[in-house]
């Protein structure tokens, strides 16, 4: 039975090692990936394969290994005289393996023969069997790395709805037998097949050393970003240390100031790369009235759309296109880009940054973060290809499913660096005519001219981004008042797993990009306690807060290890992705919106209905959550 099962497992696999037709010489010995290495090998037991076959596991590799073991253990005795006179295949394998003790080889041969006694007679019609009736291994443990790349239509193994692929029924495009695991790793990084590793798991192995060596030669973009800055600093120090260099500090400062960022294309609004913007079914029409004075703008602080962070549709707004102040962010007056407004500067260890040359008031809109709206998969692809040698990335989360990439197209907002004590925050606005968003950077407090602008990237575990994080309800404020008003959305910038130092200089700096601040952990605990006592929320909120609590508990477990530290500088257990806090309307605002929206009026942000499907459905979940 084992033999036929093993044979069936390889019926559709083409073999680069097909035994030649009769007379059948003993086949070339094949590497047995399921067997331990010579140094660690222990006498095989016949129970392993039987157990594996009886207890199917979801782990594909383990399944492959057990199938291969089954195939090896169930090889029948060669009936041909030629084969009989030759050493048994297992014995040959073992003798080839340099220092294998001969007694062990004999023991293994005996065990194999014993296992064979239970096996069914070989099915000679089976194409996986050689002409001598023996089943042969056609590939090694990693044979699935030779599978054709997954297409859009191929169900992803990560999708819970799709049935798991039966890898044994898939024909490899190129023959392979046990490619060394290191290459297999590369395959996993480069291609989407059975499963996908987070992009940076093996990035160091394949890309970082290469990039670092090129950076050392001072080519390309390597003069910028983290690595580039450090390299530049180190080079400067060396020259100064030698004493023979006439370079003065002023020269260095001048050179630093004259650094120019790599060119990028400036855009006036987000660009949707692989899809069209989703049309909104109903426009969000506010109930504002035109101010009496013709010089005053309408849709100010009291505008219901503004409160909901919906932009008005200028064409339909009661205040009209010229006097509505709640227009889309790309039409809104922020701080102008350029040397008299928002100026790009070289910061040294943080690469380029953005400085304001004018005073900014608390709450002011400063600039929109613009770029290409791309899928998360496309962002991974870009990290591994287009941006693989870069020290800086320019991603900001869009809606939990897509990201804004300002790497090639964007505006000056792309130069804003992270700070653990920021002066800006990201606020997400929803557009009126299309069901899309715009990310605005608003002043957290008054910012004097000459200050570098920063926001908290809010680094977060990459692995948690599989699901839309806005399913999480806004946590209640630490003081127990309803609705903290902020919701954490996964945002921005993929990070080198080698852990980038944070050079923000803030007193609360976590030390590393992605390091957690002790103060934050305490605030989270307080928020968790407050959330647990809040019973007035709906079921959706309850579920979300339970999910939050689980996450907080996880965090707390981690935190306990470093109790007493001001800063948690331990490397993340998992790769990190950046996240910014996106402010959403508070529940007070929501209550007001609900009260204001006349039944059936269909006007006002609270009366909006959005169609559901895919991405939209998830957004609707957010809508429900906020209702």
Applying CB under 6 A, the residues found at the interface with ligand SAM are 224-226, 261, 350-353, 391-394, 414-415, 417-419, 493, 500, 502-504
* Smaller CB separation from ligand SAM, 498 or 591: 498
Give the residue with the Cβ less far from ligand SAM, 171 or 386: 386
| Cβ-based burial of 304 (10 A; exposed 0-12, middle 13-18, buried ≥19) | buried
User: Given the complex with ligand SAM, which of 204 and 620 has the nearer CB atom?
Assistant: 204
Q: What DSSP string runs through 547-609?
A: HHHHHHHHHHHHHHHTTT-SB--SPPSS-EEEEEEEE---HHHHHHHHHHS-TTT--SGGG--
Q: From the CB of 328, what's the least distance to ligand SAM, in Å?
A: 23
User: Strands 424-430 and 576-583, how do they pair?
Assistant: parallel
Minimum CB separation from ligand SAM for residue 343, in Å? Answer: 14
Q: How far is the CB of 493 from ligand SAM (least distance, A)?
A: 5
- The residue at minimum Cβ distance from ligand SAM is 351
CA distance 246 to 296: 60
Question: By C-beta, is 33 or 351 nearer to ligand SAM?
Answer: 351
| DSSP secondary structure of 328-396 | -GGGS--PPBSTTSEEEEE-STT-EEEEESS-B-TT-EEEEE--EEEEHHHHHHHHHTTTTT-S---EE
CB atoms within 10 A of CB 374: 22
Minimum CB distance to ligand SAM smaller for 352 or for 437: 352
State the minimum distance, in angstroms, from the CB of residue 2 to ligand SAM. Answer: 54
Rounded least distance, CB 185 to ligand SAM, Å: 25
CB of 508 to ligand SAM, least distance (A): 12
d(CA 286, CA 327): 12
Q: Taking the complex as a whole, how short is the minimal distance between the CB of residue 344 and ligand SAM, in angstroms?
A: 9
Q: State which residue, 569 or 596, has the beta carbon closest to ligand SAM.
A: 569
Distance of CA 554 to the CA centre of its chain: 20
User: Is the CB of 142 or the CB of 352 nearer to ligand SAM?
Assistant: 352
- Smallest CA-to-CA distance from 406 within 532, 269, 592, 524 is with 269
Burial of residue 451, with CB atoms counted within 10 A of its CB: 0-12 exposed, 13-18 middle, 19 or more buried:
middle
Phi first, then psi: give them for residue 452, nearest 5 degrees: -75, 135
Cα gap 356→415, rounded to integer Å: 12
Q: How far is the CB of 572 from ligand SAM (least distance, A)?
A: 15
Spatial contact of 585 and 308, defined as CB atoms under 8 Å apart: yes
Rounded least distance, CB 459 to ligand SAM, Å? 10
* CB-nearer residue toward ligand SAM: 67 or 405: 405
User: In terms of CB distance, is 90 or 405 closer to ligand SAM?
Assistant: 405
CB of 337 to ligand SAM, least distance (A): 14
Q: Shortest gap between Cβ of 439 and ligand SAM (angstroms)?
A: 12
| Distance from C-alpha of 445 to C-alpha of 428, rounded to nearest angstrom | 18
* Cβ-based nearer residue to ligand SAM, 305 or 423: 423
In the complex, the smallest distance separating the C-beta of residue 378 from ligand SAM, rounded to whole angstroms, is: 18
Closer to ligand SAM at the Cβ: 346 or 429? Answer: 346
What's the CA gap between 413 and 189, in Å, rounded?
Answer: 31
**Beta strand 486-494 with 576-583: parallel, antiparallel or unpaired?**
antiparallel
SS3 content of the chain, % helix, strand, coil (to 5): 35, 15, 50
CB of residue 625 vs ligand SAM: minimum separation in angstroms? 29
Dist. CA 299–CA 619, nearest whole Å: 25
Bridge partners (DSSP) listed for residue 494: 577
Residues 6+ apart with CB under 8 A from 111: 43, 44, 45, 46
Q: Which is nearer to ligand SAM, 33 or 225 (CB)?
A: 225
Nearer to ligand SAM, 76 or 225 (CB): 225
* Cα gap 274→398, rounded to integer Å: 14
Q: Is the CB of 326 or the CB of 500 nearer to ligand SAM?
A: 500
DSSP assignment of 27-75 = PPP---TTSPPTTT-----THHHHHHHHS--S-HHHHHHHHHHHHHHTP
**302 in helix, strand or coil?**
coil
- Reported residue count of the chain is 627
* C-alpha angle 230-231-233 in degrees, rounded to nearest 5: 65
Q: In the complex, what is the shortest distance from the CB of residue 3 to ligand SAM, in angstroms, rounded to a whole number?
A: 56
| CA 249/CA 124 separation, integer angstroms | 83
365 strand-pairing partners: 442
Please report how close the Cβ of residue 261 comes to ligand SAM at its closest, in angstroms: 6
- According to DSSP, residue 434 is labeled B
Q: In sequence order, what DSSP letters do the residues of 107-129 get, joined into one string?
A: HHHHHHHHHHTTSPPP-TT-TTB
Nearer to ligand SAM, 224 or 430 (CB): 224
Q: Are 13 and 143 contacting, i.e. CB atoms less than 8 angstroms apart?
A: yes
């Amino acid at each position: 039975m084992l033999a036929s099962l093993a044979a069936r497992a390889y019926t559709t696999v083409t073999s680069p090692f097909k035994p030649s037709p009769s007379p059948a010489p003993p086949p070339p010995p094949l590497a047995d990936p399921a067997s331990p290495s010579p140094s660690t090998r222990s006498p095989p037991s016949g129970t392993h394969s039987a157990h594996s076959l009886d207890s199917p596991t979801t782990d594909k590799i383990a399944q492959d290994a057990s199938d291969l073991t089954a195939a090896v253990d169930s090889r029948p005795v060669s009936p041909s005289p030629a084969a009989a006179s030759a050493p048994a295949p297992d014995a040959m394998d073992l003798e080839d393996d340099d220092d294998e003790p001969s007694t062990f080889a004999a023991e293994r041969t005996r065990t194999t023969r014993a296992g064979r006694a239970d096996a069914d007679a070989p099915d000679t019609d089976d194409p996986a069997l050689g002409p001598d009736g023996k089943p042969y291994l056609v590939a090694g443990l990693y044979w699935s790395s030779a599978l054709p790349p997954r297409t859009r239509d191929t169900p992803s193994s990560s999708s819970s709805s799709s049935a798991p692929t039966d890898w044994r029924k898939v024909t490899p495009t190129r023959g392979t037998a046990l490619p060394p695991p290191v290459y297999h790793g590369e395959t996993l990084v480069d291609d989407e097949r059975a499963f996908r590793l987070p992009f940076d798991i093996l990035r160091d192995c394949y890309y970082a050393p290469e990039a670092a060596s090129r950076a050392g030669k001072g080519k390309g973009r390597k003069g910028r970003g983290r690595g580039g800055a450090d390299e530049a600093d180190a080079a400067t120090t060396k020259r100064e240390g030698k004493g023979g260099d006439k370079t003065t500090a002023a020269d260095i400062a001048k050179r630093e100031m004259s650094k120019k960022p790599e060119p990028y294309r400036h855009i006036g609004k987000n660009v949707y790369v692989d899809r069209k913007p989703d049309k909104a079914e109903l426009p969000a029409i506010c109930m504002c009235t035109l101010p009496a004075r013709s010089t005053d703008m309408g849709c100010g602080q009291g505008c219901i759309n503004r409160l909901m962070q919906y932009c008005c549709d200028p064409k339909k707004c009661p205040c009209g296109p010229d006097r509505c102040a709640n227009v889309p962010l790309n039409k809104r007056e922020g701080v102008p880009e350029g040397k008299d407004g928002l100026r790009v500067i070289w910061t040294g260890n943080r690469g380029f940054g953005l400085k304001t040359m004018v005073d900014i008031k608390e709450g002011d809109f400063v600039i929109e973060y613009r770029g290409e709206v791309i899928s998360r998969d496309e962002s991974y692809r870009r990290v591994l290809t287009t941006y693989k040698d870069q020290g800086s990335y320019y991603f900001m989360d869009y809606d939990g499913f897509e990201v804004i990439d300002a790497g090639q197209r964007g505006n000056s907002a792309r130069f804003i660096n992270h700070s653990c004590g920021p002066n800006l925050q990201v606020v997400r606005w929803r557009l009126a005519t299309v069901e899309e968003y715009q990310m605005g950077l608003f002043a957290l407090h008054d910012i004097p001219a000459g200050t570098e602008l920063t926001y908290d990237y809010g680094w977060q575990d990459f692995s948690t981004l599989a699901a839309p994080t806005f399913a999480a309800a806004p946590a209640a404020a630490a003081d127990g008042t309803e609705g903290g008003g902020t919701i954490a959305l996964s945002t921005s910038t993929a990070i080198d797993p080698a852990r980038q130092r944070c050079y923000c200089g803030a007193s609360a700096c976590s030390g590393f990009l992605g390091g957690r601040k002790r103060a934050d952990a305490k605030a989270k605990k307080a928020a968790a306690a407050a959330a647990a006592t809040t019973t007035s929320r709906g079921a959706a909120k309850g579920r979300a807060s339970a999910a939050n609590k689980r996450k907080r508990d996880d965090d707390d477990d981690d935190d306990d290890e470093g109790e007493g530290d001001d800063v948690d500088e331990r490397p993340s257990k998992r790769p990190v992705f950046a996240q910014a806090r996106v402010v959403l309307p508070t529940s007070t605002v929501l209550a007001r919106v609900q009260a204001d929206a006349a039944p059936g009026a269909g006007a006002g942000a609270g009366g909006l209905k959005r169609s559901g499907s895919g991405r939209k459905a998830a957004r609707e979940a957010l809508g429900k959550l906020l209702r």
